[in-house]
Amino acid sequence: MRKLISAAILAVLSAFACPLWAQRVCPGFSIVIDTPEDQLTLAYNGADSPQEQIAAIDKFVQEHADSKFLPCAYEYYTLAYLKLNQFDKVIEYGEKGLSGDYQDLMLMLNLLKGYVSSGKVSDGAFEVILKAPEEIKQENTPARPPNLGDEEWKKVEEEAATQASEQRAYMEYAFFQLLQRETDGGKRLKLLDEFVKAYPESPNQAQINFNYFIAYKLANNAEKLDEYGEKAVASDPENVVTLNFVADDYASRQTNLDKADEYAKKALELAPNMEKSAGMTDEQFMAQQNQQLGLAHFTLGLVDLQRGAQKHRVAGAIDEFKKAADLLEGNPQLQGRALYYLGYAYEVIYPPRHSSAIEALSKAAELASPWQGEARNLLAKVKAAAK
């Protein structure tokens, strides 16, 4: 990222050098030498630490509270606070900077980085993502300088196109990260519809389909849920997470046990070959892999239970639930569900295995999960039956 330079110096340099297309700070402002804005720029760029940069901005804001340059000062704040990982401050000043008519791509990107890293979400963050394509196009459409040769101009255009592609990629990444934090299915669907219109050429069609599937599940729309479950699998047929989610849904709603069985078995085949994400430790990767294996075994257990319950032939389900409970250790919500169904299956088999059911249900009753209450209720009934 280049430093802000005064307009006079920039004019001199541009006569002798080919422009380099790079992400620009405050592109909507021109800096005049020896003005407070120029002094802030020099102080910010000359500071030895983010704390010194913040002190320089504080001084400018206090002394020039009515300056038209304030949005740029807020942008400087976001840059400095990102270095300090103070994401609430990044959000605060990013929103201040974009609260008026001023639009700036770096400010938009910094605000979203703050949101992604903070674990928070807001309507304003989604608004920034949805309006970003227009700003990306505007800031990455350079004017050709006079006397610039064809070869040099081609390089400038290629650099601008590459940068625009990278910026759109981050906007899409931020969208899917933030969308996961929205719990209302109807709102998710609205956001997805708006995203598809804003990013019609998105390369992330598989993610779009999968997120529509999750949104329709939250919205309890069974018809669309099945449609987008199949679309999600078709657009990314070797994605273990997608296979497990769709298989679990089919099995849980008892709508298509054959598909649930097929997708869960495929997830079991693919999970051992999952690739570790960048920055993930071996321990984190193993936990992720075990979770996917555990989910697949759970679905297979649920399928076997539903197919064999009437004739009490659930030995296969018991084996699958055992494997799931072991693999899901460390995830109380998922393990609690597996243990609950394991205990239930012990009661379905003939003759019932009360002691094994009590052991599994006792563990489930101790875990903080949505199944804790159900486990306690069933445990009490099993204990009464065992007397």
Q: Mean pLDDT of residues grouped by 10 in the chain (387 residues)?
A: 30 30 73 91 95 97 94 96 98 95 92 97 97 94 89 92 95 97 96 98 96 96 94 97 97 96 98 92 95 98 97 97 97 97 97 97 97 97 93
* 8-state DSSP, 18: P
Class in CATH terms, 237-386? mainly alpha
Report the alpha-carbon distance of residue 5 to residue 112 in Å, rounded.
26
pLDDT for res 331: 96
Report the alpha-carbon distance of residue 144 to residue 160 in Å, rounded.
12
Q: Please list the residue range(s) of the chain that carry CATH number 1.25.40.10.
A: 7-177, 237-386
Report the alpha-carbon distance of residue 133 to residue 169 in Å, rounded.
11
Report the alpha-carbon distance of residue 138 to residue 147 in Å, rounded.
23
Structure confidence by residue, pLDDT tens digits, 69-118: 999 999 999 999 999 999 999 999 999 999 988 889 999 999 999 999 99
Alpha-carbon separation of residue 201 from 193, 197, 248 (angstroms): 14, 9, 31
Residues in the chain: 387
Alpha-carbon separation of residue 7 from 38, 40, 141, 359 (angstroms): 10, 15, 20, 76
pLDDT for res 13: 25
Fold of 7-177: 1.25.40
pTM: 0.87
Report the alpha-carbon distance of residue 180 to residue 163 in Å, rounded.
26
Rounded to a whole number of angstroms, the CA Rg of the chain reads 28
343-349 LR contacts (CB < 8 Å, sep 24+): 343/375, 343/378, 343/379, 343/382, 344/305, 344/378, 345/301, 345/305, 345/314, 345/317, 345/318, 345/321, 346/318, 347/378, 347/382, 348/305, 348/309, 348/312, 348/314, 349/312, 349/314, 349/315, 349/318
